[in-house]
């Protein structure tokens, strides 16, 4: 299914689309607990994270100073981690535990780019497209992307806590299109979350492609790719 309009700009989700955690969340949470003398099951932590994360409120904090936004980000993640840990056991020195986890995920060492991601973004730039990242993430995202080598491949990075709106809210897509000096109908968004990325982008007037790395989508009217490398064929 080719694009409906000529594409001038392309935007990508971050986690799950161009980058991923280096180690499973449950293993990482359990490892940091062991460092404090606690034993937690990686499987229980993984299950807890999958249960808690979808029910968290949007990671978007409007009308905050930079310092207040950073405090709100930490509070959001502290609430999530505390709920996940409680589903798997207990960490006595939770403040220390959370601080080390939060700092860990602020580093590019905790993440890795998907093998094809750099080449796909570079190809998009070579096509003359403006490139952006739209993510329901916090202020740690731009440094992570720099450490992963994406900084010279994107024109803008828009994250939800900065703009006070989280996907699928149309406002975050509109803000990104404005920064990229494109039009919604001439902007293509690519992401792995069907609701937040595909339906959110479409509701905002963008074109969209759903990235289905696990091949879960049945045939239908939704444009689907299973690998970012398939974008070249789609755009051609």
Give the separation between CA 233 and CA 77, rounded to whole angstroms: 38
Please give the C-alpha separations between residue 47 and each of 4, 5, 43, 85, 86, in angstroms, as whole numbers.
40, 41, 6, 11, 12
Residue 218: Cβ within 10 Å count: 6
Average of per-residue pLDDT across 232-236:
82
pLDDT of 6: 87
Helix locations, 89-140, DSSP H = 94-104, 117-126
Domains identified in the chain and CATH numbers: 9-18+114-235 (3.40.50.1000), 23-110 (1.10.150.720)
pLDDT tens column, 161-220: 999 999 999 999 999 999 999 999 999 999 999 999 999 999 999 999 999 998 887 557
What contacts 174, CB < 8 A, 6 or more positions away?
Answer: 184, 204
Average of per-residue pLDDT across 210-233:
87
Band of residue 221 on the pLDDT scale cut at 50, 70, 90: confident
Instruction: Write down the pTM of the prediction.
Output: 0.94
pLDDT tens column, 33-87: 999 999 999 999 999 999 999 999 999 998 889 999 999 999 999 999 999 999 9
Band of residue 235 on the pLDDT scale cut at 50, 70, 90: confident
Give the separation between CA 126 and CA 148, rounded to whole angstroms: 20
pLDDT of 94: 98
Average of per-residue pLDDT across 105-114:
98
């Amino acid at each position: 299914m080719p694009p409906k309009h000529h594409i001038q700009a392309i935007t990508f989700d971050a986690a799950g689309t161009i980058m991923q955690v280096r180690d499973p969340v449950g293993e990482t949470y359990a490892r940091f607990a062991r460092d404090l003398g606690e034993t937690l099951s990686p499987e229980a932590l993984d299950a807890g994270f999958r249960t808690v994360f979808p029910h968290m409120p949007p990671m978007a904090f409007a009308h905050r100073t930079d310092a207040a936004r950073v405090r709100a980000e930490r509070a959001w993640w502290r609430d999530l981690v505390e709920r996940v840990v409680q589903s798997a056991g207990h960490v006595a020195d939770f403040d220390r535990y959370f601080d080390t986890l939060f700092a860990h995920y602020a580093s590019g060492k905790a993440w890795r780019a998907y093998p094809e991601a750099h080449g796909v973004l570079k190809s998009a730039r070579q096509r003359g497209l403006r490139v952006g990242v739209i993510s329901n993430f916090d202020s740690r995202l731009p440094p992570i992307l720099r450490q992963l080598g994406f900084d010279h491949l994107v024109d803008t990075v828009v994250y939800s806590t900065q703009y006070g709106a989280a996907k699928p809210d149309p406002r975050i897509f509109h803000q990104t299109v404005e920064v990229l000096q494109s039009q919604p109908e001439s902007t293509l968004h690519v992401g792995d979350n069907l609701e937040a990325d595909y339906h959110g982008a479409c509701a905002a007037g963008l074109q969209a492609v759903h990235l289905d790395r696990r091949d879960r989508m049945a045939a239908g009217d939704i444009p689907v790719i299973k690998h970012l490398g398939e974008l070249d064929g789609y755009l051609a």
